[in-house]
Amino acid sequence: MKRPVPLGVVLVLVAFAVTSWAERDKTDQQLRLELSLSDGSRLVGVAPATSLRIVGPVGKISLPLAQVRSVKFNEDRETVSVRLVNGDRLSGVLDMRAIEMKALFGTVEVPVAECRSMVVLKGSDNGLVLYYTFDDDSD
């Protein structure tokens, strides 16, 4: 004979499911930045800013970070080429002296002069976590 599940247990399970869904949705909307620096290192963190300011031929543009796929810093470290998620490309001067982000070890401000490229990552796509080649024939 089946015993009915107490209403309190059902409410707790529903509340847990709704909370988990809301937290997942919040995480999926966070924008993370992956910066490639001039010394060859790479830095990943969460972007507190919501836009990227560029001065282009048509004037000042404030691009929502959610619409930016990548930014390539040119050799002069002043001009950038921006690739958007819809395939459009823009060029101009980045109207920022530093890029701020929250990394694993705290808030960091990276001077634009030290950046080679920036990729905007959306959601919880953490990329490669573990890689096994299984090429070795040993036990």
pLDDT digit string (tens) for the chain, length 139 residues: 566 645 444 333 334 444 444 444 444 467 889 999 999 999 999 988 889 999 988 899 999 999 999 999 998 878 999 999 999 999 999 898 899 989 888 899 999 999 999 999 876 545 555 555 666 665 5
Exposure string of 115-128, with b = 16+ CB inside 10 Å and e = fewer, is bbebbbbeeeeeee
- Cα–Cα–Cα angle for 4, 6, 8, nearest 5°? 160
Chain mean position to CA 123: 7
pTM reported for the whole predicted model: 0.66
